[in-house]
Amino acid sequence: MTREEIMDKVNEIFREVFDDDSLVITDSTNSEDIEDWDSLEHISLIISMEKEFDMKFDIKEVNKLENVGQMVDMIKSKME
């Protein structure tokens, strides 16, 4: 899967979790850009990604994430 394809799927997950079909995310999007992105929604995002990409993350690497781009890179690195 290319990085762009991963980004598309991640964007779909964001739209579902935040219930906003118009939401467009970029590499630099972070929790300050989306009002509802609190700690509980962050858990929902990560759980949805684990299910979508059939992988498990480590809580330490999840806690280090600073934006969507790093999230996508983490997913891509686990696929390789």
Convert 31-70 to b/e letters by CB count within 10 Å (16 or more is b). Answer: beebeebeeeeeeebbebbeeebeeebeeeebeebebbbe
Residues making up the chain, counted from first to last: 80
Least separation, in Å, of the C-beta of 10 and another protein? Answer: 16
Query: Scanning residues 33 to 52, which ones bind another protein (CB under 8 A)?
Result: 40, 43, 46-47, 50
Q: How far is the CB of 3 from another protein (least distance, A)?
A: 22
Q: Tell the smallest beta-carbon distance from residue 44 to another protein (Å).
A: 9
Of 29, 57, 72, 75, the residue at the interface with another protein (CB under 8 A) is 57
